[in-house]
Amino acid sequence: MRIDQAREPARHIALLKAAVAAIALSLTGASVAAAADIYGLGHADAPTYDWSGVYLGGVMGYSWGKDRTTEYDTATGVANGMFFDYNPKGLIGGVKAGVNYQMGDFVVGAEGDFEMTNIQGTFIDRVQNLGRGDDNYDWQASLRARMGMAFDRVLVYGTGGVAVGKISNTYTLVPFGITETMDDVRAGWTAGAGVDYAVTDNVIAGIEWRFTKYNDFKNVSTAAFPGITGGQEPSFNSLRISLSYKF
């Protein structure tokens, strides 16, 4: 009897130790689970990138396109059946600025850009060897809406809006070296698609393709080819890369 009574405290101490160990183990497990949730390792969703904000960046790329000259009789406005293609192309580069607003996975925004260009094209009337035309684009700009879907740090979007550009057309009467240049700011529309990637919370890299169509216009020649009007139909494809800072 005395032996059993002597062993009783030892049993109580052992049971107490086991209970304390079980409680400590359960608390440790709860702490690990909470930490996992906080750092996105458990069932809780990890935080996603927020595209909302204003951004400013630089852009560069390459444009290639078509600009057909169709000849018209100035007095009657009737085409004389002669047409020539410039096929202008060249580098572009400039700045852009915009703003995004994110609603769930849907992102809407607006963006404007201004680019200097060295886009040039030439045609030569090799049949008659009389005429030459030169296309030059000094600068171009656009103001567009943007809409897309965000996949955390990746944004896939479409864009479209108005475009303007400074276009110069030079006509040369080759045998006599008579040259005539007409330039003006032309308007049109532009649309395309792109992908942006948030490299950091503030730095965004992007790639974009856009098609731009300037409104058709006519140049009335009075020096190089009196009595002839040149109708122009410029359009372009452009591929751009960009790097922006989001504030």
The model's pLDDT over 129-163, given as tens digits with 9 standing for 90+, comes to 789 999 999 999 999 999 999 999 999 999 999 99
Q: How far apart are the first and last CA of the chain?
A: 82
pLDDT for 23 equals 37
pLDDT for 28 equals 36
Query: Structural domain of residue 7, as residue ranges?
Result: 1-47
Mean of the per-residue pLDDT values for the chain?
85
The last residue of one of the domains, among 32, 47, 62, is 47
Query: Are residues 180 and 66 both part of a single domain?
Result: yes
Proportion of the chain in helix, strand, coil states, percent, rounded to 5: 15, 65, 20
What is the count of structural domains for the chain?
Answer: 2
Q: Is the pLDDT of residue 196 over 70?
A: yes
pLDDT for 46 equals 58
pLDDT for 13 equals 44
Query: Are residues 181 and 112 both part of a single domain?
Result: yes
Residue 51 tokens read as 């595209």
Q: Is the pLDDT of residue 11 over 90?
A: no
* Mean pLDDT computed over 201-209: 98
Task: Compute CA 234 distance to the chain's CA centroid, rounded to the nearest angstrom.
Answer: 21
Provide the whole-model pTM.
0.79
Task: Report the candidate in 236, 241, 237 with the shortest Cα–Cα distance to residue 208.
Answer: 241
- Give the CB-side neighbour count of residue 108, counting CA atoms within 13 A: 1
Per-residue model confidence as pLDDT tens digits over 42-59: 444 556 999 999 999 999
